[in-house]
């Protein structure tokens, strides 16, 4: 009789915390959270859901590090991590996007309900495909310095960052500053139009072959270059001055800068080969 396989307790608990946050985001978006529908204000629901997805990202970041530090990496942990990621970074952001665009915003150009549902389904499918490909192509000896395709946590963060920023825009619309109120009245409907397009874009980027850096590993492990320090300082300054509005900017910068750079390099290689050789 084969001996039972041991389970790494701490990494497993952190991974399950990821799933709990993802399920919590879905239930709050459906107004079925512990507080009950009567106690959930429309303005607070998207922010709570986004915070839960960010919490899932934190658990996802910590479980792998805990497994490697305690030398308790296993095939079970890798599969469990992907299953939890499918909930937190696949289903939860897509469901939140649907609820946020259809229920929590007014004004702006409205997408047909069938098109919104199709975008949400494509996002979930791309997230699942991205996670399955990562499991097949990654082994325990991988350096974890980068990814092929946009990581699903970053894609989820890009989607939920827009609902998370709505709290700041609502405060602008209720402020006594005429400029801030006018800007909020323009930005709030614009989010309704932009968010489904952003969701579709990050879905495509997840299944692409564009290289993305492992932000956590590159920033916090080993000596860093001056460029990395400048990026950290710049991100901290943006968060300090713009509060919640900084999150969509930072996540969109991480998600869309690599494809823009890759596209520019391909363009210069095809049409300006001498310039491409110099760069």
Residue 1 has pLDDT above 50, yes or no: no
**Mean pLDDT, residues 170-189:** 77
Q: pTM value?
A: 0.83
Q: What is the pLDDT of residue 267?
A: 82
**Mean pLDDT, residues 244-270:** 88
Q: What is the pLDDT of residue 108?
A: 54
Q: Select from 128, 158, 137, 164 the least CA-distant residue to 242.
A: 164
Q: What is the pLDDT of residue 4?
A: 47
Which of 4-18, 115-129, 132-146, 167-181 tops mean pLDDT? Answer: 115-129
**Mean pLDDT, residues 264-277:** 72
**Mean pLDDT, residues 252-278:** 80
Q: What is the pLDDT of residue 226?
A: 65
Which of 43-47, 220-224, 231-235 tops mean pLDDT? Answer: 43-47
Per-residue pLDDT band at 237 (split at 50, 70, 90): confident
Q: Give the integer Cα–Cα distance in Å for 70 and 146.
A: 22
Residue 176 has pLDDT above 90, yes or no: no
Q: What percent of the chain has pLDDT over 90?
A: 35
Per-residue pLDDT band at 159 (split at 50, 70, 90): very high
Residue 110 has pLDDT above 90, yes or no: no
Q: Give the integer Cα–Cα distance in Å for 154 and 133.
A: 16
> Average pLDDT of the chain?
80
Q: What is the CA radius of gyration of the chain?
A: 20
Q: What is the pLDDT of residue 227?
A: 64
Token pair, residue 30, equals 């459906």
Token pair, residue 237, equals 């300054």
Q: What is the pLDDT of residue 104?
A: 56
3-state per-residue secondary structure call for the chain: CCCCCCCCHHHHHHHHHHHHHHHHHHHHHCCCCCCCHHHCCCCHHHHHHHHHHHHHHHHHHHHHHHHHHCCCCCHHHHHHHHHHHHHHHHHHHHHHHHHHHHHCCCCCCCCCHHHHHHHHHHHHHHHHHHHHHHHHHCCCCCCCCEEECCCHHHHHHHHHHHHHHHHHHHHHHCCCCHHHHHHHHHHHHHHHHHHHHHHHHHHHHHCCCCEEECHHHHHHCCCCCHHHHHHHHHHHHHHHHHHHHHHHHHHHHHHHHHHHHHHHHHHHHHHCHHHHHHC
Per-residue pLDDT band at 139 (split at 50, 70, 90): low
Token pair, residue 58, equals 């934190």
Q: Select from 53, 76, 73, 48 the least CA-distant residue to 63.
A: 73
Longest dimension (CA), the chain: 75
- Looking at domain 9-210, its CATH class is mainly alpha
Residue that wins the pLDDT comparison between 181 and 13: 13
- pLDDT digit string (tens) for 19-70? 999 999 999 888 765 655 444 456 678 888 999 999 999 999 888 777 777 7
Q: Give the integer Cα–Cα distance in Å for 53 and 46.
A: 11
Q: What is the pLDDT of residue 39?
A: 46
Q: Give the integer Cα–Cα distance in Å for 117 and 199.
A: 11
Per-residue pLDDT band at 174 (split at 50, 70, 90): confident
Q: What is the pLDDT of residue 105?
A: 55
Q: How many CB atoms lie within 10 A of CB 87?
A: 19
């Amino acid at each position: 009789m084969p001996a039972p396989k041991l389970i790494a307790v701490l990494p497993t608990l952190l991974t399950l915390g990821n799933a709990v946050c993802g399920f919590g985001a879905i239930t709050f978006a459906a107004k079925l959270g512990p507080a009950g529908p009567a106690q959930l204000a429309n303005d607070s629901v998207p922010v709570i859901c986004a915070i839960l997805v960010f919490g899932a990202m934190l658990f996802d970041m910590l479980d792998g590090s805990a497994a490697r530090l305690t030398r308790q990496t296993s095939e079970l942990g890798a599969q469990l991590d992907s299953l939890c990621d499918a909930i937190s970074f696949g289903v939860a952001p897509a469901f939140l996007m649907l609820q946020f665009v259809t229920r929590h915003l007014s004004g702006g150009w409205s997408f047909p309900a069938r098109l919104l549902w199709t975008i949400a389904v494509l996002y979930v499918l791309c997230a699942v495909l991205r996670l399955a490909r990562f499991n097949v192509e990654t082994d325990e000896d991988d350096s974890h310095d980068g990814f092929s395709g946009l990581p699903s946590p970053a894609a989820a963060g890009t989607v939920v960052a827009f609902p998370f920023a709505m709290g700041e825009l609502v405060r602008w619309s209720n402020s006594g500053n005429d400029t801030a109120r006018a800007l909020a009245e323009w930005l709030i409907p614009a989010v309704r139009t932009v968010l489904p397009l952003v969701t579709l874009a990050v879905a495509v980027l997840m299944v692409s072959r564009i290289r993305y850096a492992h932000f956590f590993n590159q920033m916090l492990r080993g000596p860093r270059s001056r460029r990395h320090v400048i990026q950290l300082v710049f991100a901290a300054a943006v968060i300090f001055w713009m509060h919640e509005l900084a999150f969509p900017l930072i996540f969109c910068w991480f998600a869309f800068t690599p494809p823009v750079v890759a596209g520019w390099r391909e363009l210069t290689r095809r049409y300006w080969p001498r310039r491409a050789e110099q760069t």
